[in-house]
């Protein structure tokens, strides 16, 4: 029967070299396995604010290991140039699927200013937020109310007048919507109270 301790004591360097080779081989296998799970995703090159347009100046490709939640981030197989960020993103941060949206095409997009009563605009609505716009009709001559109508769904807020908000009166809000929706929203401003409801995303 071979005495293992005695054999190792006779040739310690040989056994140590063999052990190091085995460790290196295992490490190489682990690195190769990890590399097979890496994916190319989009990341920010600098700070991106909510409402900013994504393009080559603020995006870069980065290879990362995402074995379980890769579907939460946007791979470079998808082009997101021209999309709008819906949240603040720090430099080097991965771009999440839930953090971008496709704004109306440039030729179709319109910036529409709307004045909203202080209590009809959630206090956390900021540039980059998404809101639904509702029209609450004012009582007519017979004392009746027309039905409440949703006049726009999930529109991007481009700007909120912070000064008017601080003064406590009506707040100026600029939303980015498609050309085809402008008339419907403006018609709703007549004899109606406008209420904006913030999207949870």
Q: Chunked in runs of 10, what are the mean pLDDT values of the chain (201 residues)?
A: 53 60 63 63 90 88 76 84 83 85 67 90 84 83 75 85 76 86 84 84 57
Tokens for 181? 């929706």
pLDDT value, residue 58:
93
pLDDT value, residue 200:
64
CB count, 10 Å around CB of 49?
12
Instruction: Please give the model's pTM, rounded to 2 decimal places.
Output: 0.54
Q: SS3 string of 14-49?
A: HHHHHHHHHHHHHHHHHHHHHHCCEEEEEEECCCEC
Distance CA 125, CA 131 (A): 8
Tokens for 88? 């603040």
């Amino acid at each position: 029967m071979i005495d293992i301790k005695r054999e190792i004591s006779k040739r310690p360097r040989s056994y140590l070299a063999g052990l190091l080779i085995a460790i290196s081989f295992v490490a190489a296998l682990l690195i190769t396995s990890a590399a097979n799970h890496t994916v190319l995703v989009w990341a920010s090159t600098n700070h991106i604010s909510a409402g900013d347009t994504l393009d080559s100046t603020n995006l870069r490709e980065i290879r990362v290991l995402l074995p379980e939640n890769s579907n939460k981030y946007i791979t470079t197989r998808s082009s997101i140039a021209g999309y709008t960020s819906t949240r603040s993103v720090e430099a080097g941060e991965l771009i999440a699927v839930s953090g971008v949206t496709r704004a109306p095409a440039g030729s179709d997009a319109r910036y529409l200013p709307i004045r909203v009563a202080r209590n009809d605009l959630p206090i956390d609505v900021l540039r980059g937020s998404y809101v639904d716009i509702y029209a609450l009709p004012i009582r007519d001559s017979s004392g009746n109310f027309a039905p409440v109508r949703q006049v726009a769904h999930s529109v991007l807020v481009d700007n909120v007048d912070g000064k008017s908000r601080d003064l406590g009166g009506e707040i100026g809000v600029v939303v980015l919507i498609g050309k085809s929706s402008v008339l419907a929203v403006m018609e709703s401003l007549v004899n109606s109270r406008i209420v904006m409801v913030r999207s949870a995303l």
